[in-house]
A and B are shown apart, each in its own frame.
Chain A
Amino acid sequence: MSPSPAPVAHLVSVGTCLPGEPVDNATLAKLVGVDEQWAEMFIGNVSRHFAVDLATGQVRHSLADIAATAADRALAAAGLEAVDIDCVVMGTATPDQLMPATVNLVADRLGIDNVPTYQLQSGCAGAVQALDVARTLLLAGRCSTVLVIGGDVCAKHLETDFDPGSRTPGELVNYILFGDGAGAAVLSAESFGERVEIRQVLNRLVGLGKAPGQVIDWFGLGDRHSDRIAISEDYKAIEAAVPVLATQMFWELIGDVGWTADQVDYLLPPQLSGRMSDRISDAMPAPLAQRVNVVRTVGNNGNALPFLQLAELLGRWQGGGRAVTVAVESSKWIKSGIALERA
């Protein structure tokens, strides 16, 4: 018997789910008292989706709900059934519960059983980390078709029962900036007729000695009355570090696969806010590569963002070419990226 060719990881399909109708800045202005103009000018996001109904405070969807829908859409787009999946990897910063892991509730919803599952506790780089695990398992021959999921739901952190006007701009930033969503991708050693190959995935922790740029705390019975802040960001540090890390990751990634910058047709830059992403995007190498930015309309929904970018990419991508995704997690500082090639 001749040795079988080295396995290849194909990106077969992508599915996404944004809960409910988009919430625009005018609605946020009415409900929580943000200044519309300020939001547009300083943050740049124009709409987002929330799993919670801001008007009533009613939580309409869990992370498991929207992740299962995104995953089902990815399966449907690939023309596969749940039984075809032999591994599930999920990345999220905001699991529905600490136990059971949300990935397993999603698997249950889809009817997936008796396969390895993994959930990565992660911020904005989680989707890339999940794709990394999936690709590694595929290349090792451990499994043949992997469902990769990323998503976040910030309902836990959205107060809806306060007086509009009682909050500082710092507190209101979060309403403008963040949103909820989920995305999923099917990766397989088989191509199923699709032509996108995942050539490389990189992940690198670069936070030694650095203070976290973003913190999301969690509370239990013992410390729920503590005065720690649930969410905090160091926007200045983020603004300074992300462009540098993103550019480093870009060069490392294309160096790894032997491409030059002018061979890159699409660039999927880190998604922070509409305004910041545009700036980072403009400053990154490969000026001729088409930029795929989505955060302006979908909000920063963490682990869902790279999938939303990939979905947008697959919609645009005709013919052959190369694409590079870069994501930076500004919590304990992780840079990550994906190199994709379409035959």
Chain B
Amino acid sequence: MSAPEPVAVVGLDCRFPGARDAGEFWNLLMEGRDGTRRVPEERWEADRYVLADPASPGEARPPGRSNTVRGGFIDDPDAFDPAFFGISPREAAAMDPQQRLLLQCSWRAIEDAAVAPEDLAGTDTGVFVGVMANEWAHLQLADYDGITARHGSGNGYFMGANRVSYHLDLKGPSLAVDTACSSSLVALHLASGALRAGDCDYALAGGTNLIMTPVLNIFYTQAGLSAPDGRCKPFSASADGIGRAEGVAVLVLRRLADALADRQPVYAVLRGTGVNQDGRSNGITAPNRWAQQQLIERVWRSAEVGADDIGFIEAHGTGTLLGDMMEAQALGHLTSGRSGGSVALGSVKSNFGHAEGAAGIAGVVKTVLALHHRTVPPSRFADDENPGLQLPDRRLSLLRSPLRLPSGTVHAAVSSFGMGGTNAHAVLSSPPRAVHRSGERVPGVFTVSARSARQLRPNLLAQADALARLPEDRLAQLCWTSNRVKSRLPHRVAVAAGDLASVVAGLREAAERTHDEEGGVRRTAPAVAFAFTGQGAQHPGMAASWYASSPVYARLFDEIDAHLAGHLGLSVRDAVLAGDPGVHRTGLAQPALFAVEYAMAGALADAGIRPAAVIGHSIGEFAAACAAGVLEAADAARLVARRGALMEALPDGGGMLAVPLPEAEVAALLTDPARVCVAAVNGPRSTVVAGGLDELALLRATLADRGVNARPLTVSHAFHSPLMRPAVDPFRHEGADVTAGAPSVPVFSTVYGRVMGGEERMDADYWARQITAPVRFADAAAELFSSGVTHIVEIGPRAVLTPMLARLRPADADPVSCLAAHPGERAPRHPLHHLLGQLWSAGADPTWDSLYPEADRVPRRLPPYVFDDSFRAWRSATAPEPPAPHLPVDAAAARPPVADLADPCPPTPDGGSPHGVSEVTHRLVCRVGGHDPSAVRDRSRLAEDLGFDSIQVMELKTRIENELPELGSLPVEELLASLETVGDLARYLGERLLVPTAPTPSAPEGPRT
């Protein structure tokens, strides 16, 4: 028999008494701290149910009383982030907090595995949750009069796993497992089995336990199992019973081979698991040494390990005299013949008690972390060992101080036994060593996103704090991981940098800048136009940093250089990169600009930023035509080379003059159309004139007399003027055999000053005409602004068009952002990274992989999402009469007072007007969902943002019908189709009010709530 396929633990998250996450849990264990405390007031009135144990053993215990007021309670079990999961506050308040905690824990565990939860959506990922407490249901469902539909989905521990599968859209097996105290180790067993069987490729295995009533405390006391001090003291002479504890933990599992192939970090490896039953033993609740022994023996054999291989054992270790004895005997049978020294023995129950449904997973998390840190934490109460257990003879030793594990593969064993006799056991090992050497040091973009503006700040700070502690060289791997794991939520911050310290500083600055207000977030993907710069932007060494930092840019630049070289007889690439001042010469300037723009647009496209429209200024139209699929690279290169050569061959003596006046006023001053004309219109008061130098000097003097300061441009020729005419026919001839395809995206022609028509082509005639025609940039840009683009990115070696566009941008329309791909040589480094960060922040979805070498695409762990904990909902156990549900009293302002939500709502007097409809809609949506009015906006989506399910939609429909009886009965299907957002619904209702409807009887009982 060969060992079962190894299963990797790749991610985890947990909350236990005294520990809010895995890091704190580890510290608690290593420091040997006590996580127990007095029963918190909001659980139940501890003193009401407590009575000390009788003085003599023979004395009867009074019924209905517990002997302890202590236990292991987690902090803030009532906190939850319903909006994150699209759950309405009402529904969240009705949900068992165990479901809420599992959801958040699952999300964080997946992120801890360096996987985006969104990437698991729709996959066959399995969810296996151990749970035995159903105390919320006992509290909630005792009030039969108050039961609504929501109580069904919020209660019943069976929903724990299904809730996770639903909200994360996981389609593999999904089951709650209840075998009492061994539930979560059995869940782990089932999860690894499902992975091995191929039922799923990822599995979440977890456990949860919240203590909401004193019922089990009383039961344990009555059965003589409850420790008066509320603490488990496993294997100790002072062991006197169980203390109850809470906890929630989720592990993310994968087949080891898959994890290694994906270079995922691995905490530990599950080598084998098993489950059996005591059968008909000495009482249904009594532990059975023989069954335990058989199970452990079997699991060790199947995992192909012996007692000599086991480095430490995480025992069930409840700290009852009988249980400890049975377990020591069962283990000792296997370990007493061990060679070498004793095997370390401990139980996490010593730190905070018995977490029941989450007890097994608590032991596993401890074991996994111990294998990860290669150190076994000590057990509390180990210095007072129970001599009756004869641990030394059994070669078992309680750990009084941390044990550093030897190098190489180490194995560990974990036991968890259920009260009804279902035993579970697992063997784990340290992970195999995986070598991932990082590549050359390259810059990256670190991305952080949050569901709400408010949560951006804590998440930015969490990342900054973690990164500040890491060594410098992991920058690219950490950035790549952040892109992979943390780039999907709507509120976004990107920091582009070449070193880790700059990322940390950037994240901290961003955290200072972020405000709680909504805004700056775009839900739809941006539409990006590319604007290609014209002549004048060239300079020696332009955009050399792109060549150095972007392999794609370098490749495209080389390619286009090869095309050009055949016509130019020299390498544009070499000239540009060498900083040759010759790039100012027209014959070189035009091909060089074209090459830079061609490669820059290509690099952006490769990074997932493809233009939705293009515009080009003069020579910029050639690279624009390539980007729009009009020209082949080779053809464009030939045309550009020829164009530059023809123009350079023209005699000197021409120039250009920038005039800050409207085109018409300038044109009125031009007297000799054969010698001077308008060459470009860049704005309403930004006109360029070209022509003979003498004529321009005259014009400049005339303008100066009028107090207008015209500025001569540094050019060799009078481009776009009649002086260019000799170049026109030869250039038309050059272009005669060029195929000009139909553009794949709208082209805003600066020859026409408008978008190209369907039949118009950028053919030889077009390019010939372009030589002498004025550049109608302002007109073309005006059309571009109204075309629905959200961003215009200037493609070129300097920001020339960006300021022009910013001035041309209409003030009233939706803001269009104008960005420069390469703002200049002195701009911040890593311009491509900055640009991608900006566009991603605006909703774009770049192909991040293109930024990083293959060796750096290694997932690294980053801190998981920090949830909003301002929502609170809890229900105290104050038997016998359960009170009304205690709705979230979140920072008072976050939601209206409870009374408001429950009050009947009076019909508004102006309910019939469209404005009134909007108000009524908002109010009823708030009431049905239990939302704070400030959280409900016109653009809030009912399902995704407000968590409306079909039950709530029906309730909303009824309420609307009652409040606005003139609407008549609302057709549900039509309603569902029209109600993506609250605004949609209000508009729909408003329109319906304006259309006379056939009178439909309203709900017979009239307004009700």
Complex-state Cα separation, A152 to B470, whole angstroms: 20
Q: Which of A72, A77, A80 contacts B471 (CB 8 A)?
A: A72
Which of the residues A72, A108, A113 comes within 8 Å of B472, measured between beta carbons? A72
Tell me the chain B residues, 424-480 only, with Cβ under 8 Å from chain A: 433-438, 469-474
Is B675 in the interface zone, CB < 8 Å from A? no
Quick check: B433 and A115 within 8 Å, CB to CB?
no
In the complex, which of the residues A79, A108, A145 contacts B407, with contact meaning CB atoms closer than 8 Å? Answer: A145
Report yes or no: B373 in contact with A68, Cβ–Cβ below 8 A.
no
Report A67-93 CB contacts with B as 1/0, cut-off 8 Å. 011011100110111011010000000
Q: Closest CB of chain A to B402's CB: distance in Å?
A: 6
**Given A69-B473, A72-B473, A83-B374, is A144 in contact with B407 using a C-beta cutoff of 8 Å?**
yes
| Contact for B404 among A17, A69, A114, CB less than 8 A | A114
Checking A81, A109, A114, A144 against B406 with a beta-carbon cut-off of 8 angstroms, the contacting residue is A144
Q: How far is the CB of B298 from chain A (nearest CB, A)?
A: 28
Q: In whole Å, how far is A64's beta carbon from the nearest beta carbon of chain B?
A: 11
Q: Provide the residues of chain B in CB contact with A84, threshold 8 Å.
A: 374, 407, 433
A contact residues around B374 at 8 Å (CB):
83-84, 86
A86 touches B404 (CB 8 A): yes
Does B769 belong to the interface (CB within 8 Å)? no
B residues 380-416 in Cβ contact with A at 8 Å: 402, 404, 406-407
Does chain B have a CB within 8 A of A190?
yes
Check: A110 CB closer than 8 A to any chain B CB: yes
Q: Nearest residue in A to B403 (C-beta to C-beta)?
A: A114
Q: Is the CB of B473 within 8 A of A83?
A: no
Across the interface, which residues of B come within 8 angstroms of A17, CB to CB? 472
- Residues of B close to A86: CB separation below 8 A: 374, 404, 407
Q: Which residue of B lies closest to A143 (CB)?
A: B407
B196 at the A interface (CB under 8 A): no
Does B716 lie at the interface of the complex (its beta carbon under 8 Å from any beta carbon of A)?
no
A69 contacts which chain B residues (CB < 8 A)? 471-473
Using CB atoms, name the residue of chain B closest to A84.
B407
CB distance from B143 to the nearest CB of A (A): 51
Chain A residue numbers with a CB within 8 Å of B472 are 17, 65, 68-69, 72
Contacts of A115 in B (CB 8 A): 404
B333 proximity list for chain A (CB < 8 A):
none
User: Which residues of chain A come closer than 8 Å to B435, judged between CB atoms?
Assistant: 79
Residue of A79, A108, A110, A114 ringed by the most chain B CB atoms within 10 A:
A114
Name B's interface SS. Answer: loop
Q: Give bound CA distance, A144 to B407, whole Å.
A: 7
Number of interface residues of B (CB under 8 A): 21
Q: Which residue of B lies closest to A193 (CB)?
A: B435
Q: Contact at A79–B473, with CB atoms within 8 Å? A: no
User: Which one, B373, B436, B469, contacts A113 given CB within 8 A?
Assistant: B373
Instruction: State whether the Cβ of B375 lies closer than 8 Å to any Cβ in chain A.
Output: yes
Contact B470 A83 (CB under 8 A): no
- At the interface, yes or no: B372 with Cβ under 8 Å from chain A? yes
Minimum CB–CB distance for A207 against chain B, Å: 37
Q: Do B437 and A77 have beta carbons less than 8 Å apart? A: yes
Contact call A79/B433, Cβ cutoff below 8 A:
yes
Q: Given that A113-B373, A113-B375, A114-B402 are known contacts, is A72 also in contact with B437, CB under 8 Å in the complex?
A: no
Q: Quick one: closest B residue to A68, CB to CB?
A: B471
- Of B375, B437, B470, the residue contacting A79 (CB under 8 A) is B437
* Identity of the chain A residue whose Cβ is nearest the Cβ of B339 in the assembled complex: A1
- Minimum C-beta distance from A90 to chain B (A): 15
Given known A-B contacts A79-B436, A83-B373, A84-B433, A73 and B473 have beta carbons under 8 A apart? yes
Are B433 and A80 in contact, with the CB atoms below 8 A? yes
Known: A114-B402, A144-B406, A144-B407. A83 touches B372 (CB 8 A): yes
In the assembled complex, the Cα of A75 lies from the Cα of B393 at a distance in Å of: 41
Closest to A72 in B: B471
User: A96 CA to B402 CA in the complex, in Å?
Assistant: 29
Which secondary structure dominates where chain A touches chain B?
helix
Whole-angstrom distance from the CB of A76 to the nearest CB of chain B? 5
Known contacts A83-B372, A83-B374; is-contact A71 B471 (Cβ 8 Å)? yes
Chain B positions within 8 Å of A110 at CB level: 471
- Nearest CB in chain A to that of B402: its residue: A114
Query: Smallest CB-CB separation from B406: which chain A residue?
Result: A144
For A113, the chain B residues whose CB sits under 8 A away are 373, 375
Whether B469 and A72, one on each chain, are in contact in the complex, defined by CB atoms closer than 8 angstroms, is no
CB closest residue in chain A, given B372:
A83
A190 touches B470 (CB 8 A): no
Distance in Å: Cβ of A304 to nearest Cβ of chain B: 16
With A83-B372, A83-B374, A114-B375 already in contact, the answer to whether A76 and B404 are too (CB < 8 A) is no
**Chain B residues near A109 (CB, 8 Å)?**
469-471
CA distance A147 to B472 in the complex (A): 18
Closest beta carbon of chain B to A46's beta carbon, Å: 23
B26 and chain A: residue at smallest CB distance: A113
**Complex alpha-carbon distance, A145 and B404, angstroms:** 13
Q: How distant is the Cα of A81 from the Cα of B861 in the complex, in angstroms?
A: 13
Inter-chain contact A190/B473, CB cutoff 8 Å: no
Q: Are A76 and B437 in contact (CB under 8 A)?
A: yes
Closest to B438 in A: A76
Chain B window 361-389, contacts with chain A (Cβ cutoff 8 Å), 1 for yes, 0 for no: 00000000000111100000000000000
- C-alpha gap A52/B142 in the complex (Å): 69
Q: Across the interface, which residues of A come within 8 angstroms of B407, CB to CB?
A: 84, 86, 144-145, 190
| Closest chain A residue to B377, Cβ basis | A114
Which among B402, B406, B473 has the greatest number of chain A C-beta atoms within 10 A? B473
Closest chain B residue, CB of each to CB of A70: B471
Rounded to whole Å, the gap between the CB of A50 and the closest CB of chain B is 16
> Which A residues touch B372, using CB under 8 A?
83
For the complex formed, measure the closest distance between the CB of B728 and the CB atoms of chain A, giving whole angstroms: 51
Chain A: CB-nearest residue to B468: A109
Contacting pair B404 A72 (CB below 8 A): no
Q: Pick from B30, B434, B473: contact of A76, CB below 8 A.
A: B473
Interface residues of A in 112-159 (CB under 8 A from B): 113-115, 144-145
Query: Shortest distance in angstroms between A100's beta carbon and chain B's nearest beta carbon?
Result: 15
Contacts of A76 in B (CB 8 A): 436-438, 473
Q: Are B474 and A72 in contact (CB under 8 A)?
A: yes
Which A residues are CB-close (under 8 A) to B402? Answer: 114
In the complex, which residues of chain A have a beta carbon less than 8 angstroms from the beta carbon of B436? 76, 79
**How far apart are the CA atoms of A144 and B404 in the complex, in Å?**
12
Beta-carbon nearest neighbor of B474 in chain A: A72
Q: How far is the CA of A72 from the CA of B375 in the complex (A)?
A: 21
Complex interface: chain B residues within 8 A of A145 (CB): 407
- Give Cα A47 to B345, complex, Å: 57
CA distance A72 to B402 in the complex (A): 25
* Distance in angstroms between the alpha carbons of A110 and B474 in the assembled complex: 12
Query: What's the nearest-Cβ distance from chain A to residue B31, in Å?
Result: 12
Instruction: Give CA–CA (A342, B610) in the complex, Å.
Output: 53
Taking CB atoms, residues of chain A closer than 8 Å to B404 are: 86, 114-115
Please report the C-alpha to C-alpha distance between residue A250 and residue B434 in the assembled complex, in whole angstroms.
39
Chain B hits for A83, CB < 8 A: 372-374
Q: A65 to B471: give the CA distance in the assembly, Å.
A: 8
Alpha-carbon separation in the docked complex, A170 to B402 (Å): 54
With A and B bound together, what is the CA distance between A68 and B474 in angstroms? 12
Nearest chain A residue, comparing its CB with the CB of B472: A69
A221 to B37, CA, bound (A): 46
Give per-residue flags for B719-759: 1 if the beta carbon is below 8 A from chain A beta carbons, else 0. 00000000000000000000000000000000000000000
Measured CB to CB, the nearest residue on chain B to A67 is B471
- What residues make up the interface of A, taking CB atoms closer than 8 Å to B? 17, 65, 68-69, 71-73, 76-77, 79-81, 83-84, 86, 108-110, 113-115, 144-145, 190
16 contacting pairs across A/B (C-beta < 8 A): A68-B471, A72-B474, A73-B473, A76-B437, A76-B438, A77-B437, A79-B434, A79-B436, A83-B372, A84-B433, A86-B374, A108-B469, A109-B469, A113-B375, A114-B373, A144-B406
Which of B's residues lie within 8 Å of A, judged by CB?
A: 30, 372-375, 402, 404, 406-407, 433-438, 469-474
Known: A69-B471, A79-B435, A113-B375; 7 extra A-B contacts, CB below 8 A, are A68-B472, A71-B471, A72-B471, A76-B437, A80-B433, A83-B372, A108-B469
Closest 9 CB pairs of A and B: A79-B435, A72-B471, A69-B472, A144-B407, A114-B375, A83-B374, A68-B471, A69-B471, A76-B437
